[in-house]
Amino acid sequence: MGEVIVITSGKGGVGKTTTTANIGTGLAKLGKKTVLVDTDIGLRNLDVVLGLENRIVYNVVDVVEGNCKLKQALIKDKRYDGLFLLPAAQTRDKSAVTPEQMAKVAKELKDEFDYVIMDSPAGIEQGFKNAIAGADRGIIVTTPEVSAVRDADRIIGLLEANEMEDVRLVVNRLRSDMVESGNMMNAEDVVEILGIKLIGVVPDDEQVVIATNNGEPLAGDDSLAGKAYINICRRIMGEEVPYLDLKRRKGFFAKLFGKG
C-alpha cells in the first residue's frame, strides 16, 4: 500500500509542476514505483515538463467517465523504470471531476504504487479540492516572495482544516546571492513565518529551465537543483539528509577580481 502526496502552492507559477516532475523522476531513480497525476484539468502541463506529451491517449477524465480502464490511461516513462503519468484532460474543465472521484482514483493507484503524487492547480477552488481529496500528506511549494508565502499560508490553513497532519515545505528558486545581500528572505525566514517543517530548498538554477525546455527532469543529476530534488525524494522516503550549501562557488578569476 503506497502513499498519496499532494504538491500544491496556492499561487501559480512558483514551480509546482516542475517540483512534481522532479520528485517523480527522483523517486523512480531511487527505485520507487511512482505515478504522477496531473489534476490541472483544462491546463495540463505535467506531460510537457516530463516530455511525455506525444504519448497521451487517455486521461483522468476518461478514467472517471469510464471511457477506459485506469491502467490504459497510465503512460509509462521509458527512461525510468517505475515512473508513470496519469495526464489531465486538456479540453475539459475542473468540474469534469469531483473530489470523491479523484479520491477514488488515488486510492486505486495507491494499491499499485509506492507513491502517488498529485500535481495541484493554482488556486483554492475545485481543482485544488480535487487534488487534495485523496492525499495522505502534502508538500507546499513556495518562492521566497511575499505573495507566494502569503498564499502558502492560506493553503496550509485549508489543509489543516482538512485534517491533513503531515504538511511540509519546499522553498523554491532561492537565490543565495540575493539572500546574502539581504534582498531575499532565506528559507529559515519562510519556515519561521509559515510554521511548518521544511522538506527541501531548491536554488534558482538555470539548469531547471534547460531541463524543462528539453522535457527531461534533472532530479539526481550533478546540477545543484538536481541534487536538491533528489534530497527531497530521500526525505520523502524518511531519510535524514543534510541541506546543501547553495552558495554558488566563485570561480578563480571571479575571486581574484572580486566579482561573481
Contacting positions for another protein (CB under 8 A): 144-146, 149-150, 153-154, 157, 178-179, 181-186, 189, 193, 195
Q: Which is nearer to another protein, 154 or 247 (CB)?
A: 154
DSSP, residue by residue, 21-62: HHHHHHHHHTT--EEEEE--TTS--HHHHHT-GGG----HHH
- Output the CA torsion 90→66→64→51 (10° steps): -40
Q: How far is the CB of 148 from another protein (least distance, A)?
A: 10
Which one, 41 or 196, has the nearer CB to another protein? 196
The contacts of residue 115 (CB under 8 Å, 6+ apart) are 2, 3, 5, 24, 27, 32, 33, 34, 35, 236
Helix axes 146-161, 126-133, angle to 10 degrees: 60
Which of 36/185 has CB closer to another protein?
Answer: 185
The distance between the two most distant Cα atoms of the chain, rounded to a whole number of Å, is 65
> Least distance in Å: CB of 136 to another protein?
23
- Of the pair 179, 218, the CB lying nearest another protein is at 179
Rank residues 69 and 154 by Cβ distance to another protein and give the closer one: 154
**CA distances to 20, 81, 90, 223 from 230, in Å:** 12, 16, 30, 11
Cβ 177 vs Cβ 248: under 8 Å:
yes
Pick the closer one to another protein by CB: 112 or 145: 145
Quote the least distance from Cβ 179 to another protein, whole Å: 7
